[in-house]
A and B are shown apart, each in its own frame.
Chain A
Amino acid sequence: MSSVIITGPNNIQETVIKELHNLKILHIVEHSKNELADIGKPLYNAGRLSETLVKIRALIAALNIKKEEKKFEIKKGLLEIESATKSLNQEVSANLDELRKAEEQIAKNQAARQELEILKDIDVPLESLTSYKSLSYFTGYLKNNYNVKTLKEELLRITDKFMLSDNVVKKKCFIVLFVDIKNKEYAISSLQKANFTPITFSNIANFKGNASSNLKKLEEETKKLLQRKEAVKKNLDKLSIESKEFLLAADEFLGVQLEKAEAPLKFASTQSSFLIKGWIPSEELSKSIERLNKVSKNKIFIHFEPAKKSDKVPVKLKNPGLVRPFEFFMGLYSIPAYREIDPTFFIFLTFPIFFGIMLGDVGYGVISLALFLLLKKKMPKAKNFFSILLLASFVTVLFGFLFGEFFGYKFIHPVISREHEMFKLLYIAIAIGILHVNIGLVAGFINEAKSHGFMHAVYAKASWIVLQIGIALLALVYFGIISISPLVGAVFLALAVLMLLKGEGVKGLIELPSILTNIMSYARLMAIGLSSAILAVIVNDSSKEFFHKGGFFILVGVLILIVGHAINIMLGLLGSFLHSLRLHYVEFFSKFFHGGAKKYQPFGAKEQ
């Protein structure tokens, strides 16, 4: 990477932006306002662009248009897009308005219908249910099995100036009662005895005539409204299909235009000039400068220099095709700093192996292969992730042959049995751990030598290797495998401690036991595999019992097999993935990796 500063007069700013956008090579470092220079102003058309873009995105959302992988070309200018968007917007919002109105009216009619249903068999004109000066009326339900006659008799005791109609609605007695306003209090008290619950008819306040004819009218109206609603919906669907291509293309086109128009916000600017700071990969430098000078007719000045040690350089990871998907793991953790070893290749080597050892079953491997192949097709956005898992599943199948397992069933004589040779596998796991951790230490040595000098690398990283040699010698002597004085091992240990003290200070001493726990941690390669293998055997054994019983139980046995293995595959995939990743992130990375760089994102290139 080379640091680049481009400066020039404002009148060619747009040309430079256009060329930079075409080049897709400059990672722009945002300028923050200071005393010397303000940030730049967006190009003249940025306001219009963003306004139209907002409209287009709203239309895309309103018409329910899904983004597609397919690219649409657009051959229109901004003005045409603007007018087309405007007319489309009017049409769509008119349709949406009508749809909303129809839906509101349908809901209103529905509410009115419910009230009319109650009044359907009562012979009272609807307009009479209103407020009077001399009359008072009640509508509502009486208590279950309360006799209307009793109520009538009760009222007759006081007055005969009342009108009472009743009807049974949904097994409840509904009444409408008109009384003289003078007798209102009495009527209330007698109604209370009947456990009266009033209901109001707020939705049919403006209705006239009797209920059943109104009901008919309403039903017809609702039918028409529903037809209207369908028609509008169809119309919108048609619009959606017709305008999909235009909208998606315009969205894309305007997005790019707006990016260009708003680019000056990242620049430093004065009254009449602009200044862009950024990074360009060194090998592309001369070509880009040439092209920039050409389009600007040599009116700009470009200053460049290679990255300095103290610079915060954006980083672009460079890996061959098969390894590239594994950059996903770096994105999840942290991008390696400039000049630091990129661990992606190491992850590519060991991640699938760790995963395979832990899952290690031909059946499970084949199933996960199929599953991830399907998911990769379904979700092209996460294709890197699934490529990793596909590779890991393939290695799982290989280890499945090594362990001789097919859904927990031993189908060939295993090279090493996970179930019966636990200790052998444990030693292999630990050996892998020692190897992996030491690869990490060597990488750390190289990193340290580059950034802090050779001697510091020896103290900080090689000391760990000396420490391991010391421990190994002591252990060999203890078990009587070699016969040298234990002093030799002790000397190595003491040397390692001194080196660490010099290299990393007291912190290094506190971390001393971590090398052992880190290596022991690789025992999970055996442990996770063991639990998955034994769970598979348990599923098989318990289904076998049902198979022996015969008849209906065979079905139960099959069910146990399917559910049991499905659960075990899920647990196995999750466990193997997480633990394999963790071995890299925690045990491996802690030996050499710092990270923390920004990702190199050239202006104009799409974010991945």
Chain B
Amino acid sequence: MAADISTGLIAIGSGIAIGLSAIAAAMAESTIGAAAVGAMAEKEELFGKGLILTVIPETLVIFGLVVAMLILNLAKGG
């Protein structure tokens, strides 16, 4: 499968878009997760809220994914 350089660059670009946003989300989630577990140790009923708070930064990855898809679309549309 032959691909020219510009297609490769587009692929790398979309990879960076999702990769970096995933790292950012992971960093945010690690802090929140640690705090949530701490809070749960004090008060067990906080499990539900803790779980929800922990997944909040996952929106970042989804933005990353959307951007990645838009970039990939460039490759198709030219």
Establish whether residues B66 and A578, one from each chain, have CB atoms under 8 Å apart when the complex forms. no
Chain A positions within 8 Å of B59 at CB level: 517, 520-521, 524
Closest chain A residue to B61 by CB distance? A527
> Bound complex: CA of A523 vs CA of B67, how far in Å?
11
Residue of A nearest to B56 (CB): A586
21 A-B pairs whose Cβ atoms sit less than 8 Å apart in the complex: A332-B48, A423-B69, A517-B59, A520-B59, A520-B62, A521-B59, A523-B62, A523-B63, A524-B58, A524-B59, A524-B62, A527-B61, A527-B65, A578-B51, A578-B52, A579-B58, A581-B52, A582-B52, A582-B56, A582-B58, A586-B52
Given contacts A578-B51, A579-B58, 11 further A-B contacts (CB under 8 A): A332-B49, A423-B69, A426-B66, A426-B69, A520-B63, A523-B62, A527-B61, A579-B55, A581-B52, A586-B52, A586-B56
Question: Closest Cβ of chain B: how far from A331's Cβ, in Å?
Answer: 8
Per the 8 Å Cβ criterion, residues 29-78 of B in contact with A are 48-49, 51-52, 55-56, 58-59, 61-63, 65-66, 69, 73
Q: CA–CA, A597 to B59, complex, Å?
A: 30
B57 to chain A, nearest CB (A): 11
CA distance A183 to B52 in the complex (A): 79
The SS class assigned to the B binding surface is helix
User: If A422-B69, A423-B69, A423-B73 touch, does A582 touch B62 (CB 8 Å cutoff)?
Assistant: no
Taking CB atoms and an 8 Å cut-off, the chain A residues in 414-452 that contact chain B are 422-423, 426
Q: Report how far A332 CA is from B52 CA in the complex, Å.
A: 10
A186 at the interface (CB under 8 A from B): no
- Chain A's nearest CB lies how many Å from the CB of B20? 16
Return chain A residues, CB-CB under 8 Å to B73.
423
A581 to B51: give the CA distance in the assembly, Å.
10
Contact with A along B10-23 (1 / 0, CB 8 A): 00000000000000
| A523 with B49, Cβ < 8 A, contacts A579-B55, A582-B55 known | no
Is A520 touching B52 in the complex (CB atoms < 8 A)?
Answer: no
**B64 nearest in chain A by CB position:** A527
Most A CB within 10 A of own CB, among B49, B51, B56, B61:
B51
Q: Are A333 and B48 in contact (CB under 8 A)?
A: yes
- Which residues does chain A contribute within 8 Å of B49, judged by CB atoms? 332-333
Q: Which B residues lie within 8 Å of A586 (CB)?
A: 52, 56
Closest to A521 in B: B59
Digitize A565-586: 1 where CB-to-B-CB distance is under 8 Å, 0 elsewhere: 0000000000000110110011
CA distance A516 to B37 in the complex (A): 31
A333 vs B63: C-alpha distance in the bound complex, in angstroms? 26
Q: How far is the CA of A526 from the CA of B62 in the complex (A)?
A: 9
Residue of A nearest to B59 (CB): A521
Residues of chain B with a CB closer than 8 A to A333's CB: 48-49, 52
Contacts of B58 in A (CB 8 A): 524, 579, 582
The answer to whether A585 and B69 touch across the interface, beta carbons within 8 angstroms, is no
Interface size on B, residues (CB 8 A): 15
**How many angstroms between the C-alpha atoms of A527 and B62 in the bound complex?**
7
A510-524 with Cβ < 8 A to chain B: 517, 520-521, 523-524
Q: Taking CB as reference atom, which chain B residue is nearest A329?
A: B48
Question: Is B62's CB under 8 angstroms from A521's CB?
Answer: yes
Q: Which of A534-591 contact B (CB under 8 A)?
A: 578-579, 581-582, 585-586
Q: Is the CB of A578 within 8 A of B69?
A: no
With A and B bound together, what is the CA distance between A582 and B51 in angstroms?
Answer: 9
Distance (Å) between the CB of A401 and the closest chain B CB? 25
Q: Which residues of A contact B51 (CB under 8 A)?
A: 578
Q: Which residues of A contact B69 (CB under 8 A)?
A: 422-423, 426
Docked complex Cα distance between A586 and B49 (Å): 11
CB distance B52 to A523 under 8 Å?
no
Question: Which chain A residues lie closer than 8 Å to B62 at the CB level?
Answer: 520-521, 523-524, 527
> CB-defined interface of A303-339 with B at 8 Å, one 1/0 digit per residue?
0000000000000000000000000000011000000
A586 to B48, CA, bound (A): 13
Query: Once the chains are docked, how many angstroms separate the CA of A585 from the CA of B50?
Result: 12
In the complex the two chains form, is B66's CB within 8 Å of A585's CB? no
Complex interface: chain B residues within 8 A of A423 (CB): 69, 73
Given the complex, which residues of B lie within 8 Å of A527, measured CB to CB? 61-62, 65-66
In the complex, how many angstroms separate the beta carbon of A63 from the nearest chain B beta carbon? Answer: 28
Separation of A517 and B60 alpha carbons in the complex (Å): 10
Q: In whole angstroms, how far apart are the Cα atoms of A524 and B59 in the complex?
A: 8
A332 to B51, CA, bound (A): 11
Cα distance, A333 to B51, chains bound together (Å): 11
Report A-chain residues with C-beta under 8 Å of the C-beta of B48.
332-333
Residue numbers in A under 8 Å from B63 (CB-CB): 520, 523
Contact mask for chain A residues 9-40; partner B; CB cutoff 8 A; 1 contact, 0 none: 00000000000000000000000000000000
Nearest-neighbour CB distance to chain A for B43, whole angstroms, equals 14
User: Considering the chains assembled together, what is the distance between the CA atoms of A586 and B51 in angstroms?
Assistant: 12
Q: Bound complex: CA of A586 vs CA of B59, how far in Å? A: 11
Q: Which residue of B lies closest to A587 (CB)?
A: B59
Given A332-B49, A423-B73, A578-B51, is A520 in contact with B56 using a C-beta cutoff of 8 Å?
no
Q: Which residues from chain B contact A521 at a C-beta distance below 8 Å?
A: 59, 62
CA distance A423 to B70 in the complex (A): 9
The smallest beta-carbon distance between A581 and chain B, in angstroms, is: 7
The 4 closest A-B pairs by CB, nearest first: A332-B48, A524-B62, A521-B59, A527-B62
